[in-house]
Structure 1
């Protein structure tokens, strides 16, 4: 895709997620990795009203080249790319069910969601919890980079999910699957639930490697 097409794709996905209630206000941010830098959604910007031309263009080390100032959490995206060079896009949301999950005190921090469906395993896989840090804290970037070296996605405590993909479509579909699984998990609370077995998860990972 050309840079113009990528900008338009970011605006399209931002509006789609906003319209469906996956992000609200000026929360959430998207980025795409370019051969010589990054495109990042601007700070204090509603994803439902993204102007493709105003999207921030950063150089390879994060300096603003053009567009509006980038999201306050751009550093989180750059940390992710530094840890997972194969990924070309990153999405971070404050989506309701995932954020609610991130506030629970009884989570398995190594993997916060059980294998509810095959598509969660295929699109997200293991989802570790990153400890809480205040927004903008450099330690958050370090913690995310450390966590995603062994997992495509992570859940930031009392904050929300972040996940990358081979392109923006893939990253968006993955975070949507994550949010839907978090919703299902809450709906199933108090019921006798049949999760996928470890053997079933292994078979999926063998058949659909990430």
Structure 2
């Protein structure tokens, strides 16, 4: 995908997320990796009304090259790209059920959701819960990088983290793939919040079967 195509795709994905209520107002941001740097949505931009030429382009060291002022979460996005070489796009939202889960019903102190559906296990995987820090705090990038490294050392690839009280960061091979991961994650959080009593997790036998047949990373 060329840089021009990637700019258009970021705008398309942003509008789709906004139109369907995954983001609201000026919350959330999207970035993508380039050979010579990154594209990221501007600070305080509404994802439903992005313009390709307004996206910020930054160098590999974070220096802004063009476009409107880059989102304050640039440091976090760059930390994810550095920690996960396969990540080509990162999306951050304040999706309602995910934030609600972090406020009221996180599975454990360290992990947002249990493995309650096969597609959550297959398409998302473990979602570490990152302790609350103010928006834009550079320390969050270090914590996220540590979570990626911890799960990687255990042979598990993760595609998302949850920032307590703020929202998820998800990453994948393209903006569209990252959006699909976010959708699965938000729907799982919705199921978890609505279920009463809470469902039991899938058995280890069931998860092993998903690993064997679909390459699930859990």
TM-score band by shorter chain is over 0.9
- Mapping 1:27-176, distance limit 5 Å: 27-104=27-104, 107-149=107-149, 150=151, 151-176=158-183
- Alpha carbon RMSD of aligned pairs, Å? 1.5
Question: Under a length normalisation based on structure 1, what TM-score does the superposition of the two structures give?
Answer: 0.94
Alpha-carbon distance, 1:110 to partner: 3.4
Unaligned runs of 5+ in 2: 152-157
Quick check: 1:183 aligned with 2:197? Answer: no
Question: Under a length normalisation based on structure 2, what TM-score does the superposition of the two structures give?
Answer: 0.91
Residues in 2 aligned to 1:163 and 1:204: alpha-carbon distance in whole angstroms? 21
Pair 1:111–1:208, CA change in 2 (3 A): farther
Unaligned runs of 5+ in 1: none
Q: Is the 8 A contact 1:109 1:128 kept in 2?
A: no
Partner secondary structure for residue 173 of structure 1: helix
Residues in 1 aligned to 2:110 and 2:37: alpha-carbon distance in whole angstroms? 32
Residues in 2 aligned to 1:10 and 1:207: alpha-carbon distance in whole angstroms? 32
Alpha-carbon distance, 1:105 to partner: 6.6
Residue in structure 2 matched with residue 12 of structure 1 by the alignment: 12
Quick check: 1:199 aligned with 2:205? Answer: yes
How many residues of Structure 1 are paired with residues of Structure 2 in the alignment?
209
Of the structure 1 ranges 91-100 and 200-209, higher mean CA displacement relative to structure 2 is found in 200-209
Residues in 2 aligned to 1:166 and 1:86: alpha-carbon distance in whole angstroms? 7
Partner secondary structure for residue 11 of structure 2: helix
